[in-house]
């Protein structure tokens, strides 16, 4: 199966519009886990995603406290070199070995970045990381010092392209003074639209790729999600504590999800696919990271890569956002002479 692909900014990487997110592959037993996850199921799910055409996997050292990278590394070893996907991972969140349920601390000091990179290379079993990203900003380290450490890793051949996650436009500008930022990974969905205000337009104007995460808002924008399902989540599933999964936000979010059903029916697809296609429709967005715990879940969203939303679709979605008062951020981009599309 062939999926549409785009260049990731000026990084030299070409990625499919959808990438596999391996947050849940890390399993439970840590502060931001998704509950128990079987490694065999994770491997089968990732293989299925690759068979359907996906050419990149996004992971992070913190996912499962290294376990997600280990499982991705096992997958890579089992594949012929010609079939291996691009591997993206992240650093900057350091966990407490004595207390895995303790929230990780942010650390982008140069020494920590190098230690984390070496550890990720070992767990993944690769000589070079295709895209290495800072996971969250670290207020305790000047970002220029952190980015200079990233540049050294590129010069040493340990990293191919460099990106950041959860950075604002001010931090992007500061990094750009030393070396271009190849990519930004922001949260972006029908519910969390804040990145469309400044960060995604900044990336579009600087030829920086954007790979957004949680386009289905961690499962909220799927047909099967209900208030009852929230109550049944595993005790160590981070979503139990998240604002968007609690009332009153939960009710607004599920009402918005339901408003997508007529659009999904017109396209003969799922609500999940419409939610992802909406994120992909924004100018400057290169791809979307989508997670799955079973091959069946991949089948439920893989079709989003080929969906082209019409102006009618986008108008209806913008109206639903307004009516439900779900989430925050711009609800629609506008067309202009300078760009084909721009944020409203």
Given a contact cutoff of 8 angstroms between Cβ atoms, the answer to whether 124 and 154 are in contact is no
Which residues have CB under 8 Å from 180's CB, separation 6+?
9, 10, 206, 207, 208
List the beta strands (DSSP E) in 11-84.
Answer: 14-16, 18-21, 56-58
Nearest-angstrom CA–CA distance, 59 and 79: 18
Given a contact cutoff of 8 angstroms between Cβ atoms, the answer to whether 253 and 189 are in contact is no
Catalytic: 132?
no
Give the three-state DSSP class for 58: strand
CA distances from 331 to 21, 278, 326 (A): 25, 10, 10
Given a contact cutoff of 8 angstroms between Cβ atoms, the answer to whether 210 and 184 are in contact is yes
Pair of tokens at residue 199: 């960060």
Which letter does DSSP use for residue 187 in this model? B
CB atoms within 10 A of CB 94: 18
Using a 10 angstrom Cβ sphere, with 0-12 exposed, 13-18 middle and 19 or more buried, the burial of residue 151 is middle
Pair of tokens at residue 40: 């065999």
Which letter does DSSP use for residue 53 in this model? T
Nearest-angstrom CA–CA distance, 248 and 266: 30
Q: One of 32, 63, 132, 213 is an active-site residue; which one?
A: 63
Pair of tokens at residue 14: 């070409």
Pair of tokens at residue 80: 């012929």
Which residues have CB under 8 Å from 41's CB, separation 6+?
293, 294
Nearest-angstrom CA–CA distance, 158 and 173: 24
User: Active-site residue numbers?
Assistant: 63
């Amino acid at each position: 199966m062939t999926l549409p692909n785009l260049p990731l900014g000026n990084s030299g990487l070409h990625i499919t519009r959808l990438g596999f997110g391996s947050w849940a592959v890390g399993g439970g037993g840590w502060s931001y886990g998704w509950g128990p996850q079987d490694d065999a199921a994770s491997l089968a799910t990732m293989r299925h995603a690759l068979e359907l055409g996906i050419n990149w996997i996004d992971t992070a050292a913190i996912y499962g406290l290294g376990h997600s990278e280990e499982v991705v590394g096992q997958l890579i070893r089992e594949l012929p070199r010609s079939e291996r996907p691009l591997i993206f991972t992240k650093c900057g969140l350091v966990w407490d070995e004595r207390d895995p349920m303790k929230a990780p601390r942010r650390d982008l000091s140069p020494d920590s970045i190098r230690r984390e990179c070496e550890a990720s290379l070992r767990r993944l079993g690769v000589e070079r990381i295709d895209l290495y990203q800072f996971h969250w900003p670290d207020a305790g380290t000047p970002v220029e010092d952190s980015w200079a450490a990233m540049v050294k890793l590129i010069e040493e051949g340990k990293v191919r392209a460099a990106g950041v996650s959860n950075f604002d436009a001010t931090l992007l500008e500061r990094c750009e003074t030393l070396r271009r930022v190849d990519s930004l990974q922001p949260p972006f969905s029908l519910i969390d639209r804040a990145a469309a205000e400044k960060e995604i337009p900044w990336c579009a104007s600087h030829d920086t790729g954007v790979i957004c995460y949680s386009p289905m808002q961690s499962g909220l924008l799927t047909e099967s999600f209900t208030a009852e399902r929230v109550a049944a989540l595993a005790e160590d599933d981070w979503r139990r504590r998240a604002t968007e999964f609690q009332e009153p936000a939960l009710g607004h979010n599920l009402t918005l999800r339901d408003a997508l059903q007529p659009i999904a029916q017109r396209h003969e697809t799922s609500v999940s696919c419409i939610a992802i296609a909406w994120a992909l429709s924004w100018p400057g967005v290169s791809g979307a990271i989508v997670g799955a715990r079973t091959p069946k879940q991949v089948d439920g969203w893989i079709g989003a890569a080929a969906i082209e939303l019409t102006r009618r679709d986008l108008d209806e979605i913008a109206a639903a956002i307004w009516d439900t008062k779900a989430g925050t951020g711009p609800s629609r981009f506008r067309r202009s002479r300078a760009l084909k599309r721009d944020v409203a």
